[in-house]
Amino acid sequence: MNPIHAPFPLSRSRRLRRTPWMRSLVQETQLSVSDLIWPIFVRDGEGVREPVASLPGVDRLSIDLAVQAAEEAATLGIPVIALFPYTDASNKTPDASEAWNPDNLVNRATRAIKAAVPDIGVMLDVALDPYNSDGHDGLVRDGIILNDETLAALVQQTLAQADAGADILGPSDMMDGRIGIMRQALEANDFPDVAIMSYSAKYASAFYGPFRDAVGAQGALKGDKKTYQMDFANTDEALREVAKDLSEGADMVMVKPGMPYLDICQRVKSEFGVPTYAYQVSGEYAMICAAGQNGWIDQDKAMIESLGAFKRAGCDGVLTYFANRVARMLLDEEY
């Protein structure tokens, strides 16, 4: 595209920035409530609201309070909530079998939420790390994260979550071949309408720390995840991963983390034109909150600006811990 402009003063760019209504009129991308997915942490108990120290403003919620959060999301117009479990250490084992327990925490929470708020979308994570005593997304033997053996476990987890009523499954494990076996299992077991939002380009990142605190995986993790999550130096690899997942039956794809990887978001959307999402991960959220709390930045303005960056990069939506807060701002037109 080669835009043609008259020379100054016939052309004055500031004419289109002069008033709020003019800026709104010519705005190229817009952030709306329907772009938001709200991650919520659930834990056992009743009436429990437990703050996550490294995620200011984020709590672990017992199922009854998670239902209330889902009701809040529906009222605000947030289309989807994503549930993540805080798993008790007694339920973490080397085989991660709690992941496919029909009555595990997220499955019970899903049933309760779908019963109370049937029109809210529920997304569940497909990975073993909340249930694995080694803290890894896959099964571990002699320090090696096993790919093919993990796939069998992921199939069981997939079917348990679909049976609980999940609308979207988010495989975040980065095992090779997992989208294909998940899609085949869903089709073979009469769950053809369950969507898969694949964490296709998930990087081995330093920005996940507060999330691991929130799900209780931080202390359990042995080693790192670099043998299955992507190298932050790579971009073409991300396109190969996305292409592979789409060919295996993914409906939507995700880039994780978000802001440090806006170039990946843009390349994925431009190359494939499929529904593309980013996860504004816990470290990104925590940095904005910490800087805001210290008075170094305007937290609300930084929040809106950061989410707008995802839209500008081509994302169709964003998983963000700011979701309920930014939804209220958007609805009240406070930004």
150 near 128, Cβ under 8 Å? yes
Assign residue 57 a region (left: φ > 0; alpha: ψ between -120 and 50; beta: otherwise).
Answer: left
Catalytic residue selected from 202, 225, 269, 311 = 202
DSSP output for 3-70: ---PPTTT--GGGGGSSHHHHHHT-S----GGGEEEEEEEESSSS-EEE-TTSTT-EEEEHHHHHHHH
Cα distances from 195 to residues 161, 162, 236, 249, in angstroms, run 12, 10, 26, 9
60 near 50, Cβ under 8 Å? yes
Across the strands, what pairs with 38?
A: 81
301 is catalytic: no
Residue type, position 39, single letter: P
- Peptide bond before residue 257 is cis, with ω within 30 degrees of 0: yes
Between vectors from CA 280 to CA 275 and to CA 282, what angle results, nearest 5°? 145
92 is catalytic: no
Closest CA to 257 of 293, 309, 180: 309
DSSP 160: H
Instruction: Compute how many other C-beta atoms are within 10 angstroms of the C-beta atom of residue 275.
Output: 16
300 near 247, Cβ under 8 Å? no
Catalytic residue selected from 92, 256, 269, 311 = 256
Catalytic residues: 202, 256
